[in-house]
Chains A and B, each alone.
Chain A
Amino acid sequence: MSAEDVLVWIVWVVAAFACLGSGIAVVSFSNPFYSALSLIGNLGSLAVLFLLLSAEFVAAAQVLIYAGSVMVMFLFVIAYLGGRVDTPWAGGPSWQAVAAVTAAAALLAEIVLAIGLKAGGRLADQAAIPDNFGSPAQIGRIFLDEHLLAFEITSVVLLVAAVGGVILGTRPEDEDVSGVQP
């Protein structure tokens, strides 16, 4: 094992554990503000994993779009709603919690089993890739060449979402104005 190999493994282990730990933190914090902050950590460590997979442009977009703008939107809404604390494990019928944990554990077992059954075969040998794999230039060229339709449809999806956001944010005339929170 070369020194570079060891370094990549160390970075991978740290990023993977940070990613899983902050994911569990998102689910288990009772204050939504802390949950959103842990999700930023989760997205940042995922960006590190993307870099290790030589997906440079996707990692940059992850940090800019997700950890940047989407999470700022989340934090604004959480600040607008005030810190409403919602205890995750207490309250409510307990059979619901048991069923939820069982379902998630079954899902995880299924995924691990599926990967484990196939891990020895074709999943073991990686394709050789050029040095500029995943660079912004490559992604941009493919977006406007091979995947032009997907690119245009994405813009329509974003436009529809923006219109929907405006419609949801506009106050209807019959709404009781006194119901608006200060």
Chain B
Amino acid sequence: MTGPNLPAYLLIAGMLFAIGALGVLIRRSPLIILLSLEIMLNGANLALIAFSRHVGNHSGQIFALAVMAVAASEVVIGLGLIVAMARRRLVLDVDLLTTLRG
């Protein structure tokens, strides 16, 4: 297989992770925070699969599939929480949710 080797993929993975972290830190809507979390998880997935290709071992791909399942579960719970918040007419802004003294 030709093309770029591992450091190029790792650089893209790291940049995706940093973009996702920026989104989690800077946005206040919980929906966008969940979307940015997906970007972070996908950056980690890309690094896992790049290493799997580099080493020639399938375990990284299995790990990436497990991460996908965990991400799907996280989206189910996160969206359920957001819908529950909206039903109670709470403002969808993580800075204003201070009932738990967070």
A interface list, Cβ under 8 A from B:
2, 4-5, 8-9, 12, 16, 19-20, 23-24, 26-27, 32, 35-36, 39, 42-43, 46, 49-50, 52-55, 57-58, 61-62, 65-66, 69-70, 73-74, 77-78, 80-81, 84, 86, 88-89, 92, 96-97, 99-101, 103-105, 107-108, 111-112, 115-116, 118-119, 123-124, 126-129, 133-134, 138-139, 142-143, 146-147, 150, 154, 157-158, 160-162, 164-165, 168-169, 171, 175, 179-181
Knowing A100-B26, A107-B21, A168-B84, say if A147 contacts B77 (CB, 8 Å): no
Given contacts A58-B45, A77-B79, 18 further A-B contacts (CB under 8 A): A19-B12, A42-B42, A53-B50, A81-B92, A88-B27, A105-B18, A111-B15, A123-B7, A123-B10, A124-B6, A126-B6, A126-B53, A128-B56, A161-B72, A161-B77, A164-B76, A168-B77, A169-B84
Q: Are B5 and A126 in contact (CB under 8 A)?
A: yes
Q: How many of B's residues come within 8 Å of A, CB to CB?
A: 74
Q: Are A123 and B5 in contact (CB under 8 A)?
A: yes
Picked from B22, B32, B49, B87, the residue with its CB within 8 Å of the CB of A55 is B49
Give residues of chain B (2-28) contacting chain A, Cβ–Cβ below 8 Å: 2-12, 14-23, 25-28
Could you tell me the distance in whole angstroms from the C-beta of B61 to the nearest C-beta in chain A? 5
Chain A residues within an 8 Å CB radius of B74:
161
Q: Which residue of A lies closest to B52 (CB)?
A: A55
